[in-house]
Structure formats: C-alpha cells, structure tokens
Amino acid sequence: MAEVTAVHEPSPFGITSRKLGIWMFIVADAATFAAMLFAYGYMRVANPDWTRPFAFWPTIANGIVMTVVLLTSSLTIIAAVLAAQTGRKTTALRWLGATMLLGTLFAALHLREWIAMLGDGWRLFRNPLGGTPLVGATFFSVTGLHLLHVVAGVIVIAVIALGYRRGRFEPGHLETVGLYWHFVDLVWMFVFPLIYLMNMR
C-alpha cells in the first residue's frame, strides 16, 4: 500500500497561521476605522455649522491622560511577550495584569468623560450647543467603537493570561494578542488628534 505524505507549502510571509490571521483581522479593522473617520470628515466638511465642543480642561487634558495610559499599556504588553519568550512565566503574567489594569483605567476615564457629556445634554443625535447634531453622532460612534475594542482586548488578554498560566497557551498566543492590543493603540493615534484636538475650542 502506497504511503501518503502531506505536503505543506511554506508560508510566503514566514509567519504562523495564527499571526497571519490576526494581521488579516487588523487590515480589515483598519479599513473599518478608516471608513468611520472618513465619514466623520465628510460630515464635518459638509456642515458649516459644525461646533467645536471641547475645552482644554477637562476634555483634552483627560484625552492626554488616556493617550499616555494606552501608549504605556503597549509597552507593558511588549514586556509580557518578551518575558514569555524567555520563559519567565510569572513576570509575563504580571505584565499582562498591568496591561489589563491600564486598559481598564483607559475605559474608566473614557466612560467618565461620556457620562459628563451626557450630563451636559449630549446625545447621539442631540447637540446642546445648537450646531449640527452630527457632532455627537460621530463622537459617540467613533469613540464607542474604539472603546468596544479596548474592552474586548482586556477580556481577551484575561482569557489568554489564564490559559497561559494553566499551560494551555504558549508565548505565541501572547504575541498575537499583543498585536491586537498595539492595533487598538494605533487607532487611538488617529482618534485623539482627529476627534479631540480638531474639535478643541
């Protein structure tokens, strides 16, 4: 009976399927955020009565703190991946914990800002300053989608950390979730200047 052997073509990108999968997701998600930011730009250009609602204090100052928190969380997840790759499991888990804490802090700061805006009368389709209501629509939808990514990221990091502690996951899994987390950070690099700074009074 003839022996059958499987033939595996090497990856053209020299990476694992898992890593290729997360990169494909990142490309698709980048196009989604790009479309949302383009829609925001379109509505802003087409509406001469666009209002700039944000003062430096507290909104922009809060945004700066949120940006620093998110950038720092990218550094802590790199520390986790590096520790995992060198076999320092406890250190890796601590850095993952720090990343989750920073992600949660970012979400808390964001929600505090949302609650303050809702208190001022902002809604998805209501502008208390009297200009076009699309200001609130674009702000809440773009930052809401990003916040959803942050919350999902914190949950996924927790799942990966638990699996890694139990030996079900390997350092490669940490690297994959790290790529996702950096992407969430990368999106904020466009959201903060375009949605916050461009709308400062």
User: Which x/- pattern over 158-197 shows residues binding other proteins (rule: CB under 8 A)?
Assistant: ---------------------x--xx-xx--xx-xxx--x
Burial grade of 57 (CB within 10 A; 0-12, 13-18, 19 or more): exposed
Residue from 42, 124, 155, 162 in contact with other proteins (CB under 8 A): 42
Task: Provide the 10 A C-beta neighbour count for residue 99.
Answer: 27
Q: Assess 145 for contact with other proteins (CB under 8 A).
A: no
Q: At closest approach, how far in Å is the CB of 146 from other proteins?
A: 14
CA distance 74 to 186: 10
Q: At closest approach, how far in Å is the CB of 166 from other proteins?
A: 27
Q: At closest approach, how far in Å is the CB of 200 from other proteins?
A: 6
Q: Assess 71 for contact with other proteins (CB under 8 A).
A: yes
Residue from 18, 21, 38, 120 in contact with other proteins (CB under 8 A): 38
Number of residues assigned to the chain:
201
Buried b (16+ CB within 10 A) or exposed e, 151-175: bebbeebeebbeebeeeebebebbb
